[in-house]
Amino acid sequence: MNRFFGLSHIFLLEIKRLLLGTKFMVEADVTDSCNLRCKHCYHFQDKKDLEKKEVPLEVWRKRFDELHNAGARFILLVGGEPALRKDILMLTDRIFPFVYVITNGTIKIPKEFKHRIYISIDGSQNTNDSIRGEGTFAKIMKNYSGDKRVVINMTIMKDNYKELEEIVKISRENSFRGVVCNIYTAIGVNTSLTIKEELRKEIINELKRVKSLYPNDLLLSKAMINWYKYPDHRDYCHWGDNAFHFDVSWKKRRCFGNNADCSNCGCLAGSFQSPIKMLSHPSEMLKIGFV
């Protein structure tokens, strides 16, 4: 899909939503399984009723067809580890024009999947592996180095925020599209890593510094970085309010987890605010959103 056509298509869908109330964005867990247990991951801490059996592909086909018929065109696949369900990824490839996946990168997604892939990397090799497991960094590079579909997705925490510039260099060295960042947001009982006010100020300053050095590689606009400065978004969140959100059992929720601390949010999806607000950072959006 032509990138500029794709971006204009998103704006038209947003106008339709404003006029008719037709939601077109979807975020869904496609599996509760994962081959890693990352230290900061909310998935297994937030859920008491994990789906132990994989949902059959035909069930997913029915779900996705119903969403498409209702007007959904943009779908973000998460988990668990969505690359464990390559059949679902390829199914969405045939149904939705805009497909995105967040993956740990240790399982290679076939080249036939022609959409944006966000790979979670949380620091230099040693730092990343201390968070995500020994050998994960090397597996990611073996699977994806040189892959133009890839954007690095970094979760910023106290112990790794000073490695943001290193992550940007890793992106450049491996010919990825660039780097985006979430600031750690507590979900459920995992509050030990919550970002306090003074630390958030330091993180914002580092985001600004790295953006000034690598404006084409750190894919957060100045407007998005400023959004991160004010963490309390309980009054309004476009992503939470105006997208569909589902767990594996197809139960609705408001965001990636029902118990997210929206008073201290650092969610990348939230920082976009709305497709109309994307007009304030079109160059970043083109790299983030369209292959």
* Cβ neighbours around 82 below 10 Å, total: 26
| Residue range of the domain that includes 7 | 3-289
Check: CB of residue 113 under 8 Å from CB of residue 228: no
Side chain identity, residue 278 = M
CA 221 to chain centre: 16
Residue-wise pLDDT tens digits, 194-227: 889 999 999 999 999 999 999 999 999 998 999 9
The H or E element that residue 150 is part of is strand 150-156
pTM of the model: 0.92
Which two structure tokens, joined as six digits, stand for 271? 């920082």
Which two structure tokens, joined as six digits, stand for 18? 């404003």
CA 251 to chain centre: 20
Across the chain, mean pLDDT equals 90
136-144 vs 125-132: helix crossing angle, rounded to 10: 110
Which tops the pLDDT comparison, 48 or 130?
130
Number of domains forming the structure of the chain = 1
Calpha distance 92→99 (Å, rounded): 7
When pLDDT is cut at 50, 70 and 90, the band that residue 48 belongs to is low
Per-residue pLDDT at 9: 83
Residue-wise pLDDT tens digits, 219-256: 999 989 999 999 898 888 899 999 999 999 999 988 88
For residue 220, give the CATH number of its domain.
3.20.20.70
Residue-wise pLDDT tens digits, 16-27: 999 999 999 999
Calpha distance 72→174 (Å, rounded): 33
Per-residue pLDDT at 291: 45
Residue 256: which residues within 8 A CB-CB, separation 6 or more? 27, 42, 78, 187, 245, 267
Query: With the CA atoms of 45, 47, 53 and 56 taken in that order, what torsion angle do they form, in degrees rounded to the nearest 10?
Result: -120
Is omega for the bond preceding 80 within 30 degrees of 0, making it cis?
yes
Check: CB of residue 15 under 8 Å from CB of residue 275: no
